[in-house]
Amino acid sequence: MTTDINPLPTLNKHCNIARMLKSPKILTAFALCLLAGNVAAQVTDQPNAFAFKLNEPIILDGVLDEPIWQDAEGWNGEFMQYFPSDTSRAEVQTRVKVAYDENNLYLAAVMMNRGVRDYVSTSLRRDYRGEQNDGVTFVFDTFNDKTNAFQFGVNPYGVQREGLLANGGNRGSDLSLAWDNKWYAEATILEDRWVVEAIIPLATLRFQDGGQNWNVNFYRIDSDTGERSTWSPIPRNFSIISLAFSRKLIFEEPLMKTSANISIIPYIAGGTSKNFLEGTEEKFSPSFGGDAKVGIGPALNLDLTVNPDFSQVEVDEQVTNLDRFEIFFPERRQFFLENGDLFADFGHPLARPFFSRRIGVARDENTGQNVQNQILYGARLSGKVTDDWRVGLMNMQTANDEDAGIVGNNFSVAAIQRKVFNRSNIGFIFVDRETLAPNENQNLFDPDESNRLLGLEYNLASADGKWTGKAFYHRTFEKEERNSPRTFNAYVLYSDLHWNWSISYLDIGEGYNPEVGFVPRVNYKRFNPDIGYNFFPQSRIINRHGPTLEYELRFNDELGTTDRDFNIGYQVRFQSLAQLEISQNNRYIYLFNDFDPTRTGGEPLAAGTDYYNNTLQVSFQSDPRKAFNIELNSEFGEYFTGKITSIRSQLGIRMGYTANIGMNFSYNRIRLPEPQNDADLLLVGPRIDLTFSKSLFWTTFIQYNNQIENININTRLQWRFAPVSDFFLVYTDNYFPDTFAPKQRSLVLKLNYWLNI
């Protein structure tokens, strides 16, 4: 049965974009248009799933021999294709059944095949990702808001993954697999199918006590046919993780929480390090700390941390920076992840009011690596207050580090969201950074050193998923009065089977200064429309193809136009999952500061000069299911006063599921007339990832970057001796590339244990 969706009413004809851009009341007008567009379509009734109440628990062994699984009634099948098409039944069918008791949710899934076959698993490491992996995934929207959800997946070898979905799952980036929690699964491979049996403790989930239904969907990725299929049909122009099209899971009796829902995660660690540049050495010494996760009622979670240690977190991949501004690196630390969207998704990618990596992370300019700045303690309360209200509160304290010149700070964040209409919400955020005791002659808090922010947002998400958007206004507050310390943005995106277009207007004031946020640049306005169209041919080779147009204009009152980009491209998606994109880019840049285009210390180009450049870009990604695969991005053409040839690639060789050998490669050949420098910027990052079993892993990552003159080696041994409990051994070394003289070296051991109370 397919999904019937009523068309979304056309936006009010008075919401004329061009006129709004000239109006002094642009934000109000645009927000009203978004509100008008949120009178959205309603999804018609569909068959629901049913969860059966059990009197006896399931024995987890991957064999579906319990009476509840043997009963032919209650299975949810008839999966529909999502890729390569979305108009027919899945070629290889899947069926799922759900049961529960007072402590656990039980899942069974049967994935049929066309016969005996091999399966693709990139490794045995938890949290596999990518459409090349065989797997079945269960998605639970426990508050029925079609905005946030829990996701659990299993592959044919019993490898698990769990994640958090935010923002309605509109984009692939709305899924975070960095979140960890305790649950259990076993898989069995049979001749014509593979089966999964899973147990998810109810204490792992957040849900409304006494509720009797959730939103749910199930999807499967099959590497043999290249097919992706879903239980509740999802149009292929949307993300497969979209929550807009989920159905109901009805519980036989109201769901009640009976456990205390408290987890204690202590750790013990020890390490030694040596800085050869400064001649300092840290002797081996133990440290202690830990986290606690406490359920407050059925839907709120209190995260506590004391002296947290993030040394086991995977190292960032370096990039060659040819931009004039700071580069964004994503958050990887577990403490910040659950309900992380409540804090991190405010604002715009170019103007985030809160960026958690400002807390407890500093940059070591000797190596170009990000290093820890000790966090003394932290607390974070987040989750649902009612079906319509979400809240997030955070306070963290960092330590002084005299050697690194870092002063301790206290960080407070408050975020509130109120659901409106079907899937939209209004949000409020407050961020406060206070300097704590910078020296002995000052009070505990120095009011002259504080930085605060207030922000209000409206997020649009229509019921049928076709319309999304955002409008916000943020303002920063400091002792020193600044000119125009605010930013606002208005954005709307429309997507259907063929058309995809968006328009955005961003205004960042000269004095906007969110010190706990991410804003690489201020004092400009940005107008950014784009449009694309998809053709779906009847072809065994090409799945879809179509043109794209994008225009970006940046300007301010003092200088006029400072940047302008016009890109015309063509995208092709193949049935094999390979992708190809070609684009012609026309770019204008005005330099308002001196700038060295190579970032190598050469003669800079003078402020006040401007440049017109044309380049050709080609991007290609091969079939990710193959044992050898490649991602290639290249750009050729003009670069300021000269020429550039840029090649970036990721090569991968997979040896079954036990070994992955990868190579990140970036080469930029820049030729500029005198007095500027020529440059050949090379970044090479070989990576070896060995998974000896589902509990023992070894990863080695080497990065050579001649732009910052550094070789970095990071090798990490991980033993998962119990569920979500690990022993880590991490070795890091940094060298000068020309002499191999050492810069910094460290060795860390860490043991943590997850204990449920």
| Residue 31 pLDDT | 40
10: pLDDT strictly greater than 60: no
| Residue 444 pLDDT | 61
Tens-place pLDDT, residues 73-83: 999 999 999 99
Closest by CA to 454, choosing from 487, 418, 410, is 487
Closest by CA to 372, choosing from 449, 308, 287, is 308
Give the C-alpha distances (Å, rounded to integers) separating 744 from 284, 310, 503, 690, 740: 15, 18, 47, 26, 12
| Total-model pTM | 0.84
Mean pLDDT taken over the chain: 88
| Residue 404 pLDDT | 63
The count of other CB atoms within 10 Å of the CB of residue 559 is: 14
Tens-place pLDDT, residues 56-92: 889 999 999 999 999 999 999 999 999 999 999 999 9
Asked whether the beta carbons of 231 and 218 are under 8 A apart, the reply is yes
Average pLDDT over residues 667-688: 93
**Confidence bin at 633 (pLDDT 50/70/90):** very high
Asked whether the beta carbons of 409 and 434 are under 8 A apart, the reply is yes
232: pLDDT strictly greater than 90: yes
Average pLDDT over residues 143-164: 94
- Determine the distance from the C-alpha atom of residue 455 to the mean position of all C-alpha atoms in its chain, rounded to a whole number: 22
41: pLDDT strictly greater than 50: no
| Residue 40 pLDDT | 34
Which residue in the block uniquely carries the two structure tokens 């190596």? 367
- Residue 573 burial (10 A CB sphere; 0-12, 13-18, 19+): buried
Tens-place pLDDT, residues 334-392: 788 777 888 999 999 999 999 998 888 765 545 555 667 789 999 999 988 888 999 99
Helices vs. strands in the chain: H and E counts, helices first: 4, 40
750: pLDDT strictly greater than 80: yes
Asked whether the beta carbons of 473 and 488 are under 8 A apart, the reply is yes
CA dist., res. 366 & res. 736, Å (int):
10
| Residue 369 pLDDT | 55
120: pLDDT strictly greater than 70: yes
| Residue 639 pLDDT | 95
| Residue 433 pLDDT | 93
**Confidence bin at 141 (pLDDT 50/70/90):** very high
Is the model more confident about 124 or about 44?
124
Q: Point out which residues pair with 287 in neighbouring strands.
A: 269
Conformational region of residue 261, where left means phi above 0, alpha means psi within -120 to 50, and beta covers everything else = left
Which residue in the block uniquely carries the two structure tokens 């992955």? 660
